[in-house]
Amino acid sequence: MKTLYTQLPAIDSLLRDPALQPLLMQTGTAFTTRQLRDMQQEARAHIQQHQSLPSWHTNWPEEAQRRIEQQQQSALRPVFNLTGTVLHTNLGRAPLSERAIEAVTACLRQPVTLEYALDDAARGHRDRAVSELLCELTGAEAACIVNNNAAAVLLMLAALAPGREVIVSRGELVEIGGAFRIPDVMRQAGCQLVEVGTTNRTHLKDYRTAISDNTGLLMKVHTSNYQIQGFTHAVSEAELVALAAEHQLPVITDLGSGSLIDMTAFNLPAEPMPQQLIAAGVDLVSFSGDKLMGGPQAGIIVGKQALIDQLQQHPLKRALRVDKMTLAALEATLQLYRQPETLREALPALRLLTRPAHDILQQAERLLPALEHTYGAEYSLAIAACSSQIGSGSLPVERLPSFALTFSPKAGHGSALTALAQRWRALSRPVIGRLQDGKLWLDLRCLEDEAALIRILTS
């Protein structure tokens, strides 16, 4: 065993090894030395435990290179999203348009007029450019941009109704994934939640009788990630606006996803549009930038000028404001909405959501023979109809007809499936599918770079 220890190379001599020089040039002496020390420690432990040298002992430079490359990999790895969920929160929600990507790159390379008005050299307003576009698209008077829609809701409540009562229907006390719950946000904002109605039915009179001297505002929350069906009744925004006007109270709506275009025109299920609510007289409407809108993560608030001014002046706005990258991406995304004719092509989220099933089927038919060769011995491959979902809590019960390639193991069953999923996760660009009914499914709806997938799955 002693002789095994003496076979371990000294760090000094490793650092002089010509095979290690390219790595040293690339990553520097300090980082490389640390890796070699770790490897040496690991080798010692291996000798102590197994009375043998580790398998990589024959080639230290190569092993060091492999380990360093692994550590240099970004934690944000590009993947193939073949899960069937288009706006997948854990995979970063909406893919951005090329125009938005270019806008972000440009604003990172040079200084930009973020809070600088060129006309009078005075201090400009950070949300200015995006606000104008949002007003044009939604018919609102003003807009305010924050980090995400959760922040938007928090800011609206904290700025407009601190220490006051906020009336919400019991059917709308939503929980969104990641610990966003209306009652909790309400508490954080310093508001007192007043629940009215029942889970399935809330009437205008419920709101009316709940209004008191201490009421700060009336709030509607779009139940974006669930649906109550059957014997139900909800009060429309327009009715609520009329009631609130009698008491000089504002009405705000957390729309969640929201859509700036009529989704049914693209054969997609209907989703409420902020412009409809603005037209109905709602004072403030908030929605996400990276759900159906197809832009960067952001919370967008549109509505009445006087109330937006209150939000802009609130200290929380400073804490929740967005970066120039977000504003650049948001502006470029919103500009695409000025041209509805080309929106489907230009906006990846919409392009993926509207992909016709027959198009996906044809793609599956091209992929099947290409993958059969690599996987056919161990797995039965097939094309199967499936349904994609929109994702990020939007329209949860609606499904989009799609097609998948399915892989079922010829032997080994469950373990062979998990092994395959694991193998795909270890690829240089991991392929993420869905395990279901004893098969691994690759829903092809979100596959745009077909050649790259074939290359990576057959390499």
Ligand X SMILES: *Cc1c(COP(=O)(O)O)cnc(C)c1O
Which positions lie near ligand X, rule CB under 6 A?
148-150, 174, 176, 180, 221-222, 224, 254, 256-257, 288, 299, 393
Taking the least distance from each CB to ligand X, the nearer of 129 and 390 is: 390
Residue 130 contacts residue 301 (beta carbons within 8 Å) = no
Q: Which residues of 122-140 are buried (b: 16+ CB within 10 A; e: fewer)?
A: eebebbebbbebbbebbeb
Q: How far is the CB of 423 from ligand X (least distance, A)?
A: 32
Q: How far is the CB of 345 from ligand X (least distance, A)?
A: 25
Residue for token pair 């980082």: 31
Taking the least distance from each CB to ligand X, the nearer of 64 and 240 is: 240
Three-state secondary-structure class, residue 123: strand
The residue nearest ligand X at its CB is 256
Taking the least distance from each CB to ligand X, the nearer of 61 and 95 is: 95
Q: How far is the CB of 189 from ligand X (least distance, A)?
A: 13
**Rounded Cα–Cα distance for residues 66 and 212 (Å):** 68
Q: How far is the CB of 112 from ligand X (least distance, A)?
A: 24
Q: How far is the CB of 148 from ligand X (least distance, A)?
A: 3
List the structure tokens of 249. Answer: 């109270």
Taking the least distance from each CB to ligand X, the nearer of 88 and 222 is: 222
Q: How far is CA 146 from the centre of its chain?
A: 16
**356 Cβ contact partners less than 8 Å away, ≥ 6 residues apart:** none
**Rounded Cα–Cα distance for residues 23 and 392 (Å):** 42
Q: From 215, 214, 227, select the one nearest 256 (Cα to Cα).
A: 227
Query: Would you state the torsion angle of the CA atoms of residues 323, 324, 329, 332, taken in this order, to the nearest 10 degrees?
Result: 140
Taking the least distance from each CB to ligand X, the nearer of 63 and 254 is: 254
Neighbours of 267 (CB within 10 A): 10
**323 Cβ contact partners less than 8 Å away, ≥ 6 residues apart:** none
Q: How far is the CB of 228 from ligand X (least distance, A)?
A: 14
Taking the least distance from each CB to ligand X, the nearer of 36 and 174 is: 174
